[in-house]
Amino acid sequence: MQKIKLVRYFLSETFDENKQISFNLKRVNEKQIINFKHLWEGIEKFNKLGNKDIDNGYKAKVWFHKNRTFRGSASPKACEIIIKRLKEEKIKEIDAIEFINNENLVEKNISKSKNNEDSKKDGLITSQKK
């Protein structure tokens, strides 16, 4: 069985010279960075790009970073839930990445030996190696 290539994106918080927060979305191995005022806007853009990748036969995931540290990853399907929760809960931008991490809306470092049926059931894991 042929492995499906994973297209990775990074979505990280950044601060300008006035200490205003924003979020940068970047596809791995590409130079273009897209900046967003709100995390949910960056996630929506990832969903559009990631779903195009999926339509072309790839898998897509976004890696979230805060303070240059990995905070979790998510598929486009899981990102739909993240967007909904961020808007419903009216989370401040400065707290957004920590919120999705604390609420277990993203995949964290999952041990291969750990049973991840709960994450799979919640739509956070889109596929598993067989």
Give pLDDT tens digits for 75-84: 999 999 999 9
The model's pTM is 0.79
Check if the beta carbon of residue 29 is closer than 8 Å to that of residue 83: no
Give the closest residue to 36 by CA, choosing from 62, 55, 61, 60. 62
DSSP letters spanning 16-43: -TT--EEEEEEETT---EEEESSHHHHH
Q: Using DSSP, state whether 61 is helix, strand or coil.
A: strand
pLDDT tens by residue, 34-73 = 999 999 999 999 999 999 999 999 999 999 999 888 999 9
Strand order, beta sheet including 21-27: 33-36, 21-27, 6-15, 59-66, 69-74
How far is it, in rounded angstroms, from Cα 48 to Cα 56? Answer: 13
CB 73 within 8 A of CB 64: yes
